[in-house]
Each structure stands twice: as C-alpha cells, then as structure tokens.
C-alpha cells in the first residue's frame, strides 16, 4: 500500500503538532508556502478537512483506509468519533508506538513491516492488524 513519504515537518507546520508523525519542532509557527503567513478566515469545510487530514497523517492512513474505518465505526453502536479513535488506537503500529518501542508511528510501522513484532508468540508484519485486549505484544529476539 502507499503511504506519505514526503516532508513531515511541512505537514506539522500545516496542521499543527502531530506527536505520532515526528518528534521535531518547526522553527516557524506559520504554515509552509507562499501564502502561509496570510491569515484568512477559515470555512467550516476547511476546519473539518484539516481535522480529517490530521487523523490521516498522524496514523499514516490513506484516504481509502480512513473511509473503511469510518464506515466500520458508524456500524457500531455508540459515538462514531469515539469508536473511530478506538479502532485507530488499536492498530498494531500505533500500539507499538504507544508502548514506547518506537519514537514515532512511522518508525513503529517499519518495526512491524520488518517482522520484529510478535503478537501472542507469532510474528505479525501487518501494521493495520487490529489488536485486541489481552493480547501479548513483544519484540522478536531473533531479528534484533
């Protein structure tokens, strides 16, 4: 699957602080580009689009993947937003990041893709694997 491989700090400057994307801080507080310093009143659409993009870039999702997560969250009873965040937080790459095994979600994704992560004693190399409560997640000693 494809993922964003461009400059991460540009995304951070555009969308604000994204702790899962990078640990760097931008020197400039305004968005990148020729018109970055111009302050304009943002529309409702622009605000919603920016929030969606924050989710996409922070968790490293494509548009199609995010759409699937939203559809799955709408089927479950309860607040769609809460369920969506639960689904995204239960991804294996995000769980590895939250456990402190990697500095960022892209780094955690690389650990998973290279086969360094084990779930219940089995090697799992799919970053979007949905973890369940009670599963044992650890690093493979063979590869490290």
Tell me the pLDDT tens digit for each residue of 28-78.
Answer: 777 887 777 777 888 999 999 999 999 999 999 999 999 999 999 999 999
Q: CB-based burial of residue 116 (10 Å sphere; 0-12 exposed, 13-18 middle, 19+ buried)?
A: buried
Q: How far apart are CA 49 and CA 54, in angstroms?
A: 9
What's the predicted TM-score (pTM) here? 0.85
65: number of Cβ within 10 Å: 17
The residue-averaged pLDDT of 77-89 equals: 94
Contacts of residue 63, Cβ cutoff 8 Å, sequence gap at least 6: 56
Which domains does the chain show, CATH number per domain? Answer: 8-89 (1.10.1050.10), 92-139 (3.10.290.10)
> Residue 8: its pLDDT value, please?
85
Taking alpha carbons only, the member of 28, 55, 107 closest to residue 10 is: 28
Taking alpha carbons only, the member of 70, 34, 76, 74 closest to residue 51 is: 70
Strands of the sheet with 117-119, listed across from one edge = 122-123, 117-119, 137-139
Bridge partners for 91 per DSSP: 130
């Amino acid at each position: 699957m494809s993922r964003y491989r461009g400059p991460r700090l540009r995304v951070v400057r555009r969308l604000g602080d994204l702790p899962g994307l990078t640990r760097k801080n931008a020197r400039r507080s305004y968005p990148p580009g020729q018109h970055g310093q111009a302050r304009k009143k943002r529309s409702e659409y622009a605000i919603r689009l920016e929030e969606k993009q924050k989710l996409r870039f922070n968790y490293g999702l494509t548009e199609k993947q995010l759409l699937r997560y939203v559809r799955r969250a709408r089927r479950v009873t309860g607040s769609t937003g809460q369920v969506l965040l639960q689904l995204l937080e239960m991804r294996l790459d995000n769980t590895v990041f939250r456990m402190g095994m990697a500095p960022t979600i892209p780094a955690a994704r690389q650990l998973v893709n290279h086969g360094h992560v084990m779930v219940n004693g089995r090697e799992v190399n799919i970053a979007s694997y949905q973890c369940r409560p009670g599963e044992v997640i650890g690093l493979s000693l063979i590869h490290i």
